[in-house]
Chains A and B, each alone.
Chain A
Amino acid sequence: MNSIFSGTRLRDMIRSIRACKTAAEERGVVRKECADIRASINENDPHDRHRNLAKLMFIHMLGYPTHFGQMECLKLIASPGFPEKRIGYLGLMLLLDERQEVLMLVTNSLKQDLNHTNQYVVGLALCALGNICSAEMARDLAPEVERLIQFRDPNIRKKAALCSTRIVRKVPDLAENFVNAASSLLKEKHHGVLITGVQLCYELCTISEEALEYFRKKCTEGLIKTLRDITNSAYQPEYDVAGITDPFLHIRLLKLLRVLGHGDADASDLMTDILAQVATKTESNKNAGNAVLYECVETIMAIEDTSSLRVLAINILGRFLSNRDNNIRYVALNMLMKAIAFDDQAVQRHRVTILECVKDPDASIRKRALELVSLLVNENNVKQLTKELIDYLEISDEDFKEDLSAKICSIVEKFSPEKIWYIDQMLKVLSEAGKFVKDDVWHALIVVISNASELHGYTVRALYKAVLTYSEQETLVRVAIWCIGEYGDLLVNNVGMLGIEDPITVTESDAVDVVEDAITRHNSDMTTKAMALVALLKLSSRFPSISERIKDIIVKQKGSLLLEMQQRAIEFNSIVDRHKNIRSSLVERMPVLDEATFNVRRAGSLPASVSTMAKPSVSIPNGVAAAPLVDLLDLGSDDILAAPSSSGADFLQDLLGVDLGSSEVQSGATPGPKAGADLLMDILSIGTPSPSPAQNNTSSVDLLSTAGINNNPSTALDTLSSPAPPHIATTASAGGMFDLLDGLSPSPSKEATNGPAYPPIVAYESSTLKIEFTFSKPSGNLQETNVQATFINLSPNTFTDFIFQAAVPKFLQLHLDPASSNTLPASGNITQNLKVTNSQHGKKSLVMRMRIGYKVNGKDVLEEGQINNFPRGL
């Protein structure tokens, strides 16, 4: 019996929630309340509904789920009393939105309430409909709403008008039904009705071309008169805001005039006088007045050309811009962006003020101003504006530097009058904000540098000087070491000095210092380090006198924890060490990068599957070793496609010719499978069948006997030909590289040494592919087994991008050498060596899961299998 006296109970709940000290405590209180409400809902006592819903709304506001109360809203709405309906509609608007199915159930109640005798009930229904109606409801109830626009009480008329705006937004086809009713509202005297009527007309104009024409013809003059009356009206306390009579009505009238005037010279002409009057007479010392002026300026700029008015408008914006109120300056910047379109010169006059706004402490203003400045830039003022912005970059907040530097870069790229200026500006940006610069920006810079052959010397010297001071700016360091690697000789010999330069003395050792610094600094990232390593290789040829020192730095990287770094270090060291005769041609300067291709690719941000650079035209003296070497270094080649981990290969890597990922192509499938194997290993370790003890015994016996047989011959072989798998713990593929570099025959046949102890097995056979394994044991290590896998193509098609991946349980360790090829011709075969180390040797036998991926006629094929038939005792 306390439905209406529920205030205390609601208050109690709010109090106890507010008294909670912790979030957990609050959750507890809410949970208990929700449980009570649910129980009460189940009892279905109409007297509690009001209070329950009020509570639920509060709980909802705190962010807890309250869907179980939705039906209560509908029941309250359907009840006869006003208090119940009032809270019911409020709950409906709060707890539901237009996408909920439940909403459809309320259509009937709404229809009844729209026809209710009590105008406040009608008002509630209109308000709810206006706030949350869906398209279906809009269609169903449009006739009722349309009728209510003519209702006797203004309170209902204005609500019906706004409700109609929602209806026509939801169902634009209904627009024409409302045109007549809407135009009748424009003659109203009641401000509320007038405001909503103007709003409805505006809505109809934006939806329907016919409605726009209709209002333009019939209503333009009336609206102008209304605006004039209100502008000239005497003080009306009810509507006065800071000396302006009803600024809200002003603004809506101006907005409607804007759409009527836009694209129609006659209508525009009619409104010139009143716009001039509003623009000149409105008080601008308070926000309300400025809001009206702002709207007026917007209208002036949108309607057809009336140049005298536009001068007025730009002047208003100029005043706004120098206003001390941040809000006013903000909207001025906003509007000036639109004003540029028709009067660039006028906006240019305010350039200095706008530039000041870029330095404002307020982030919103800075952002606007920066946008505006970038629109103001042209060929004539680019130098001056860029200078201002870069000067500011030095002192701006850290979190603004990213936006600012990106804008400067795009301005510089777009309007740069000459290359040297571009390079200078970019160097400044990189020096100040190098850590915030995006990759494509510094990539573009390298492309430009590469193309500016007469500036190579100048650039590398400037970069050298910059990097000494700003060594913490990552992208600056990258560009600098790239240039030092390429043009190190120009740096040292001061080649191509420009008149503006001061001569500097840089020794070869100084140049290497910079690169060494980059490669050893702990916070340099992988890309930087990789670039430094390539630079070192290049410098070893450019600076023969200190190539020993360079070699030492490279050698240190053999211990790098980064696999690719380690691998490269080994390769490069080998080049420095043993291939002096071809080194200089290997590390020749990069050919000029193709700007056009780069730009196309940058615009489309295509994946790096197609190389952007022309292949270096290296002339190699000794043909035999050259072929693999060239491939090794020119890694932009297209056959990276399938290499699993090179998918992210980015432009930089192509650029440098150090596509780190693409080594996998060379080495068959090594790093890819390895990564995959680690992953698979974990998965496998659970499901591995554990061999029975009996098996274990026999296998250990086997092993003993075979090891003996195996021992001597394989040792002999090892010493004779220093064979393929060198024992490098972390990377199997490095071995493959060695082979290539050293020009050794990769896989000496081991069949002979194997002895009969381990018969070859067919590890896998499908209709298209057969895999055979042959086994051998290296000397001295019982745990190790060398497996030679032979892949035989049984189909008439060629397999390309062939990759063999294998995974083993945790007690096994697996190393894969590169396959002899990644292309498997029809009826042909390729081989790949595997080394398996069995830490449970003698207890468990080998088991392996494998996956083979390849392409047939461009289509990916994946085959999988498990190998359980390994000979015992391995």
Chain B
Amino acid sequence: MYFQIHFVLLVSRQGKVRLTKWYSPYTQKERSKVIRELSGVILNRGPKLCNFIEWRGYKVVYKRYASLYFCMCIDEADNELEVLEIIHHYVEILDRYFGSVCELDLIFNFHKAYYILDELLIAGELQESSKKTVARIISAQDQLVEAAKEEASSISNIIAQATK
């Protein structure tokens, strides 16, 4: 079966996992093994080397942004250079959303990072090439959540008032 991206992995320089997204089926056990193996290889690579590693018949494209490594696993025949662009695309969207994103943003708002990734990739394929469109859809959904929050708080206020 053909997938462009088998999984996405974000690891910090200390080897902490910040985000994982699996588009091909991997068991929990395989997942932790993959993470361990790959972070070992990637974190130990020198700075000036190319951004691709050949791994178990696949290719892993990775790029470091500040203290975070963004990795995507693809098939041997896929376009590595494009995947680098996809990674950069994702980082730019995160950057816009959080306003110069840093690792802490992704730790405390990890679910936001996932929501954004879900607007970018589905089934391991690219969904949207416009950063603006992604930002618009995310903010529309965030507003829906905010509205629900407000509604809930106003209801709770009414209840609080009534039961005083």
Contact = CB atoms under 8 A, between A and B. Distances in A.
B126 interface: yes
Contacts of B137: 120, 123, 155
A98 interface: yes
Interface in A193-210: 195-196, 199, 203, 206
Interface string B15-43: 00111111101111000100100000000
Interface in B90-139: 107-108, 110-111, 114-115, 118, 122-123, 125-133, 137
B85 A158 contact: no
A331 B76 CA distance: 11
A238 interface: yes
A367 B156 CA distance: 64
Contact of B17 (A1, A62, A86): A62
A295 interface: yes
Contacts of A287: 81, 84-85
A57 B111 contact: yes
Contact of A361 (B46, B53, B89, B108): B46
Interface string B49-93: 111111000000000000000000000000111101110010000
A77 to B, nearest CB: 15
Interface string A323-359: 0001111110000000000000000000000000000
Contact of B79 (A87, A99, A131, A251): A251
A517 to B, nearest CB: 39
Given A82-B144, A191-B130, A163 B122 contact: yes
Contacts of B89: 241, 248
B127 A14 contact: no
B123 A83 contact: no
Given A1-B156, A97-B26, A158 B127 contact: yes
Contacts of B164: none
Nearest to A325: B50
A34 to B, nearest CB: 15
A290 interface: yes
Contact of B53 (A120, A123, A158, A364): A364
A248 B152 contact: no
A199 B122 CA distance: 11
A327 B52 contact: yes
A4 B114 contact: no
B129 A130 contact: no
Interface string A278-297: 00000000011011001100
Given A120-B144, A326-B50, 9 more contacts: A58-B110, A93-B21, A162-B122, A195-B128, A196-B126, A239-B129, A327-B52, A329-B50, A365-B49
Interface of B: 1-3, 17-23, 25-28, 32, 35, 46, 48-54, 79-82, 84-86, 89, 107-108, 110-111, 114-115, 118, 122-123, 125-133, 137, 140-141, 144-145, 148-149, 152-153, 156
28 contacts: A4-B152, A11-B108, A14-B107, A14-B108, A18-B107, A63-B17, A63-B32, A81-B148, A82-B141, A82-B145, A86-B115, A87-B111, A120-B140, A123-B137, A127-B118, A130-B123, A131-B122, A195-B128, A195-B129, A196-B127, A199-B125, A248-B89, A251-B79, A252-B126, A287-B85, A291-B79, A330-B52, A365-B50
